[in-house]
């Protein structure tokens, strides 16, 4: 079930998302946070850092990230490991051993998938933060991914590699061709989901997710079957909704 919130600015969108995270962090003895990369959650992460500076502690949190590129080292400047440390973890107090990010560079991807799924299965994610790809993907579950998928290796679509080329100096050839990602069934186990989407290039995917049929052609449409999804949009991303 979707609760849709339309923000008048990025600032307001980040604040709405942050208030949900704050209540989970303050109300649970061991909060389990599902985190995402991409530009959509960056404002939320800034709010989390600001709150830490004012006294909010994340020391008891456990985190699970959604995905990671395959074939680049975790210390590569565009790895999701680096992204998360630069945009959030270096600014707050979660101990490193409580942070989980899939590993795409140990040379044994099947094992990495199995181990990640096993580890996350030992917890219940209290809240999962999501963005959405312009092709309707969530995490790196591209169109066609089965709804019962767990952590797996995913070839990236041309569209996704084009969208993400901006992080690789605009050069699509530098964007990895595959990723390791939580599956749709993994994501659906989270108790609560917050999906943030802004900008015109997300409007169609947002419409398909909320108002289209539940189909693997739009992986995010599976969220129609989740009991608690807050969708935070700006006017542009909401522009195709009735
Ligand atoms: C990437 C990530 C997704 C993210 C999507 C949208 O492909 N794997 O988790 O939601 O991009 O990114 P952005 O928020 O930058 O538009």
Does the pLDDT at position 53 exceed 90? yes
pLDDT of residue 1: 84
Q: How many whole angstroms separate alpha carbon 220 and alpha carbon 204?
A: 12
Does the pLDDT at position 107 exceed 90? no
pLDDT of residue 242: 83
Does the pLDDT at position 106 exceed 90? no
pLDDT of residue 185: 98
For ligand 1, is residue 176 a contact (CB within 6 Å)?
Answer: no
Active-site entry in 109, 126, 142, 234: 142
Nearest atom (ligand 1) to Cα of 40? 14
User: Which 3 state secondary structure label does DSSP give 234?
Assistant: strand
**Using one digit for the tens of pLDDT, what is the confidence trace for 178-222?**
999 999 999 999 999 999 999 999 999 999 999 999 999 999 999
φ, ψ for residue 181, nearest 5 deg: -145, 145
pTM of the model: 0.97
HEC sequence for 207-224: HHHHHCCCCCCCHHHHHH
For ligand 1, is residue 139 a contact (CB within 6 Å)?
Answer: yes
Q: How many whole angstroms separate alpha carbon 147 and alpha carbon 154?
A: 14
pLDDT of residue 105: 87
CA distances from 165 to 78, 153, 154, 204 (A): 11, 20, 17, 21
Give the DSSP letter of residue 98: G
For ligand 1, is residue 36 a contact (CB within 6 Å)?
Answer: yes
**Using one digit for the tens of pLDDT, what is the confidence trace for 118-158?**
999 999 999 999 999 999 999 999 999 999 999 999 999 99
67 is catalytic: yes
For the chain, what percent of residues have pLDDT higher than 70? Answer: 100
135 is catalytic: yes
Active-site entry in 67, 109, 126, 208: 67
């Amino acid at each position: 079930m979707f609760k849709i919130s339309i923000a008048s600015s990025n600032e307001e969108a980040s604040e709405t998302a942050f208030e949900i995270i704050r209540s989970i962090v303050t109300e649970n003895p061991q909060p389990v946070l599902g985190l995402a990369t991409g530009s959509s959650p960056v404002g939320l992460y800034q709010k989390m850092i600001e709150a830490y500076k004012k006294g909010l502690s994340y020391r008891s949190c456990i985190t699970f990230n959604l995905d990671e590129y395959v074939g680049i080292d975790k210390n590569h400047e565009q790895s999701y490991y680096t992204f998360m440390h630069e945009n959030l973890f270096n600014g707050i107090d979660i101990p490193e051993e409580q942070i989980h990010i899939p590993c795409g560079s140990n040379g044994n991807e099947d094992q990495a998938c199995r181990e990640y799924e096993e580890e996350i299965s030992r917890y219940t994610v209290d809240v999962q933060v999501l963005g959405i790809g312009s092709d309707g993907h969530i995490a790196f579950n591209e169109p066609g991914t089965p709804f019962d998928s767990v952590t797996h290796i995913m070839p990236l679509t041309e569209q996704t590699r084009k969208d993400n080329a901006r992080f690789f100096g605009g050069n699509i050839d530098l964007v990895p061709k595959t990723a390791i990602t939580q599956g749709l069934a993994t994501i659906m186990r989270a108790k609560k989901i917050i999906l943030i989407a802004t900008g015109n290039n997300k409007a169609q995917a947002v419409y398909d997710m909320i108002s289209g049929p539940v189909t693997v052609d739009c992986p995010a449409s599976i969220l129609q079957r989740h009991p608690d999804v807050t969708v935070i949009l700006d006017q542009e991303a909401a522009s195709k909704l009735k």
